[in-house]
Chains A and B, each alone.
Chain A
Amino acid sequence: MKKTKQELKSAAKTSSTVINLKVGLAEMLKGGVIMDVVTADQAKIAEDAGAVAVMALERVPSDIRAAGGVARMSPPRLIEQIMASVSIPVMAKCRIGHFAEAQVLEAIGVDYIDESEVLTPADEDYHINKHDFKVPFVCGAKNLGEALRRIGEGAALMRTKGEPGTGNIVEAVRHLRDINQHIKRITVLDDAELMTEAKNMGAPYELVKLVKEQGRLPVPNFAAGGIATPADAALCMQLGAETVFVGSGIFKSENPAAFAKAIVKATCHYSDPSMVLEACREIEGEAMRGISIDTIDAGMRMANRGW
């Protein structure tokens, strides 16, 4: 009766009926908030406020934006301190295409890797072949074609590529709407039209076919980039995001602990305006100041990194 590891592996591979373990962890994070943190103390504040996971960073995106220069993977020591301080999953970012940074993160034992446009890209042509890794990857996408290319490379979780560090939700909203509208259009296409659609959007045919059959992305889709208030979180959830990432919004606000709790409450109860109102009321102090997207030079728009 007992199966060997090899037999189980082949059973899991041949069975299209079981969700793979990488996507499985993303399923466990649904309905929650993933918070950017730069110290072990911040990670504890995030965990206490009800975060489902933390993203271990050296600097939050708004500081990366302000500092300029090359943004790289965080120092392993910092990531390890954060991992030791909380019991929820810990994610970390590597540069687009920098598979050696990803190997280091996997060796540290992080629970998820974000191949992220927030850091300076290491490769302008190729993203990481994420199938090579046992640790799951999350990647950003502005539209459905980009999402399916990343999933084709092995990403187990997608997120929007809202403009990070701006406190401006407009780009994340654009990406959520774009992806959802495109999925709806694909579900009504004739089978004969799918290959051309795949060609036009630069996405793997098999995945386009899967989107038509299931009427959704093959992996969960979370919102990220520019979420700065409880109402922002509720907006993204109502637009179909399944969890929200909050970066600079929390620890750049005046009272991070209260702010974090409020965002968690609004995400959990996103469809109940009276609870979102309660969340808004719990915040003392102002949200982060925010930046209008059209004041950012095209070269500094992080969403344009990757393809």
Chain B
Amino acid sequence: MSHPVIGVLALQGCVEPHRPHIEAAGAEFAAVKTPQQFDAVDAFILPGGESTTMLKLIDMYGLWDSLTRNFKTKPVWGICAGTILMAQHVTNPQQKSFGLLPISVQRNAYGRQLDSHHGMIDNYLVSFIRAPVILSPSGVGISGEAEFEILATHESAPVWVRQGPYMATTFHPELTQDFPSPMHRTFVDLVRGSAAQLVA
């Protein structure tokens, strides 16, 4: 799979800014919101936005089962709200999630919009917007493994983590217009690698 299609969940949130990053990393961008569209892509980005809203819409439009089935076999990258959807355990308030990664996440942990800030991750300027914090390892994730890799920390908390085909960042690299971001490059590489593994 030299030119994978990355589907960005487009129920609501920051979707279009991913296009130039994905294309610069050598993959194809698709905005997806129906089960037919989910089945047609090679990997998913769960974008920034409001996690509460996205959860409600996933429930209301009956997308939970189709997404769960797709997530079992395809790489997924959650950003900010997407990290919350991927976590094993969510607080402030407690809410349901897909449990793909063995992490516990606290919503709006830095505070409200007034506490949004920039950060430097992997020499790349990124934005933390009403961001969650990854508090601790929690459970085993969908893979059954408790171990996960911490790719970056910020103010002593992990902000970029990965376990197998699942990756999460609590910050937004897509709002920086220097294409592609290191995170998009890493994810597209991961998508290519996981396809190679599946073939092997």
B50 near A268 (CB under 8 angstroms)? no
| Stretch from A29-37, A114-122, A159-167, A291-299 at the B interface | A29-37
Residue of chain B at shortest CB distance from A51: B53
B113 near A17 (CB under 8 angstroms)? no
Residues of B within 8 A of A106 (CB): 114
A19 near B127 (CB under 8 angstroms)? yes
A8 near B119 (CB under 8 angstroms)? yes
At the interface, yes or no: A249 with Cβ under 8 Å from chain B? no
B13 near A28 (CB under 8 angstroms)? yes
Residues of B within 8 A of A210 (CB): none
Please report the C-alpha to C-alpha distance between residue A147 and residue B107 in the assembled complex, in whole angstroms: 33
Residues of B within 8 A of A8 (CB): 117-120, 125
A265 near B60 (CB under 8 angstroms)? yes
From B81, B111, B125, contact of A28 by CB (8 A): B81
Please report the C-alpha to C-alpha distance between residue A87 and residue B92 in the assembled complex, in whole angstroms: 8
A-B pairs, top 10 by smallest CB distance, nearest first, are A111-B113, A19-B175, A50-B56, A31-B12, A21-B116, A27-B14, A17-B177, A32-B12, A12-B118, A18-B176
A135 near B113 (CB under 8 angstroms)? yes
B129 near A21 (CB under 8 angstroms)? yes
Known: A27-B13, A31-B13, A50-B57. 15 other contacts (CB 8 A): A17-B125, A17-B176, A17-B178, A18-B125, A18-B177, A24-B116, A24-B127, A28-B80, A30-B15, A30-B49, A88-B50, A88-B53, A135-B113, A136-B113, A261-B60
Q: Least Cβ distance of A45 to chain B in Å? A: 12
Residues of B within 8 A of A11 (CB): 118, 120, 125
Residue of chain B at shortest CB distance from A278: B61
At the interface, yes or no: B108 with Cβ under 8 Å from chain A? yes
At the interface, yes or no: A283 with Cβ under 8 Å from chain B? no
Q: How many residues of A contact B (CB 8 A)?
A: 42
A-B contact count (CB 8 A): 130
Residues of B within 8 A of A261 (CB): 60
User: A209-249: which have CB < 8 Å to B?
Assistant: none
Residues of A within 8 A of B35 (CB): none
Q: A11-B118, A21-B118, A269-B33 are in contact. Are A28 and B49 (CB under 8 A)?
A: yes
Q: A27-B48, A264-B57 are in contact. Are A112 and B108 (CB under 8 A)?
A: no
Q: A53-B50, A88-B50 are in contact. Are A134 and B11 (CB under 8 A)?
A: no
